[in-house]
Amino acid sequence: MRTGVIQESYGELISLFRNPTQTYWTWALVIMSLAAPVVLTGHVTSLINGMMIAAIGVIGLNLLTGTTGLISFGQAGFLAVGGYTAAILSADYSMPLWLCVPAGGLMAAAFGLLVGIPSLRLKGLYLAITTLAFTIIITHLILSAESITHGSSGISTAKPAIFGMELATDKSFYYLVLAVLVLAILGSANIKRSRVGRAFLAIREQDIAARAMGVPVARYKLYAFVVSSFYAGIAGALMAYQIRFVNVDSFSLVISIEAVSMIIVGGLGSTAGAVIGVVFVLGLAEILNYVFSSMGGAMGSISALELKGFIYGLTIVLFLRFEPDGLMGIYREYKNRWVNWPFRY
């Protein structure tokens, strides 16, 4: 029987990989993702691009809601800020992509600081509703500041190109998004295993106790907001480049709620969970799309859309009811059962 992994020093406790097996699998995954576009069709690649972009934003939200315990429905607002910043810079000022995407992230981070300040005094559901207010206000501001944002007509972004190389197809865009996603995952993992991440966890468990132990709660809460909105801003900017068009409709409150449901389905607080949650929720939507379209005219387009909504709602409810730890919880349970077989854990 395997005895499990025993960590003998602090260094091992906070290392990026737990054990050699994990390292090998991670490298295998990286190689597989590098090779993926060669085998996949264009449609699937573009779907995966969408998933990876969503994953970047959701990893950010996971740092805020899952790790620091600050519930936020503001992710759509930050996504909008990032997306619009990138689109305006690329369309109106013809800036290159490698400037636009970070600029989107930084702009969203600045807004994150702004939203983070009220969060210092608010807790739980009061905070959730305040961030919800932010999403509504930002959409409205974008609609009314027509001279900058072109109002309700939206903006078409330039074709994505990096260092003179045009990323015209989904497959070439894939590598850009993959690179950013890897950076995002590394960033999130590194934050979590550092002093900052431990402060985040302390704040999640009990913020008064954290303060008593010498964690500067105000600074770290703001930090969580800024990092999380930076991630969302980057995701928004990439989204603008992927769709080549931004419009407030793509950043409605529903997106915020979807993002929260993704981290719940995946498993709160875990980076891998965030990615799995995105794949599950978006994958489910895609499968339902496929099923309904193959049924053809048997069902009107409205009822197909509504049925999708119903199944989506039901999924959230069932997960929370039967598997509050999400897909990661299921994975851990099965892993333990497998490792300890034939004994019960």
Is 71 a residue that touches another protein (CB under 8 A)? yes
CA distance 196 to 327: 26
Q: How many CB atoms lie within 10 A of CB 329?
A: 17
Kindly tell me which of 95 and 307 has the beta carbon lying closer to another protein.
307
CA end-to-end span of the chain: 13
Kindly tell me which of 42 and 124 has the beta carbon lying closer to another protein.
124
Is 122 a residue that touches another protein (CB under 8 A)? yes
The percent helix, strand, coil of the chain (3-state, each to 5) is 80, 0, 20
Question: According to CB under 8 A, which one of 264, 274, 279, 282 is a site residue for another protein?
Answer: 264
| 227 neighbors 59 (Cβ within 8 angstroms) | no
Is 320 a residue that touches another protein (CB under 8 A)? yes
Question: According to CB under 8 A, which one of 14, 136, 161, 201 is a site residue for another protein?
Answer: 136
Question: According to CB under 8 A, which one of 283, 313, 334, 337 is a site residue for another protein?
Answer: 313
> Contact letters (x/-) for another protein, 42-61, by CB under 8 A?
--------------------
Token readout for 327 is 């897909």
What minimum distance in Å lies between the beta carbon of 342 and another protein? 32
DSSP, collapsed to helix, strand or coil, labels residue 164 as: coil
236 contacts: CB under 8 Å, gap ≥ 6? 57, 78, 79, 80, 81, 82, 83, 84, 85, 86, 104, 108, 251
| 230 neighbors 46 (Cβ within 8 angstroms) | no
The number of angstroms, rounded, from the C-alpha of 7 to the middle of its chain's C-alpha atoms is 30
CA distance 331 to 31: 23
Is 128 a residue that touches another protein (CB under 8 A)? yes
| 199 neighbors 211 (Cβ within 8 angstroms) | no
Question: According to CB under 8 A, which one of 16, 99, 143, 183 is a site residue for another protein?
Answer: 143
CB under 8 A: which stretch of 40-48, 87-95, 117-125, 244-252 binds another protein?
A: 117-125
DSSP state for residue 155 in the 8-state scheme: E
Is 316 a residue that touches another protein (CB under 8 A)? yes
Kindly tell me which of 194 and 303 has the beta carbon lying closer to another protein.
303
How many residues in the shown chain lie near another protein by CB under 8 A? 43
Question: According to CB under 8 A, which one of 33, 130, 156, 252 is a site residue for another protein?
Answer: 130
CB under 8 A: which stretch of 26-34, 81-89, 177-185, 309-317 binds another protein?
A: 309-317
CA distance 144 to 151: 6
DSSP, collapsed to helix, strand or coil, labels residue 5 as: coil
> Contact letters (x/-) for another protein, 207-246, by CB under 8 A?
-xx--x----------------------------------
Is the four-CA dihedral 78, 262, 136, 124 of positive or negative sign?
negative
Kindly tell me which of 22 and 144 has the beta carbon lying closer to another protein.
144
Chain contacts with another protein (rule: CB under 8 A): 71, 118, 121-126, 128-130, 132-133, 136-137, 140, 143-144, 206, 208-209, 212, 253, 257, 260-261, 264, 302-303, 306-310, 312-317, 320-321, 324
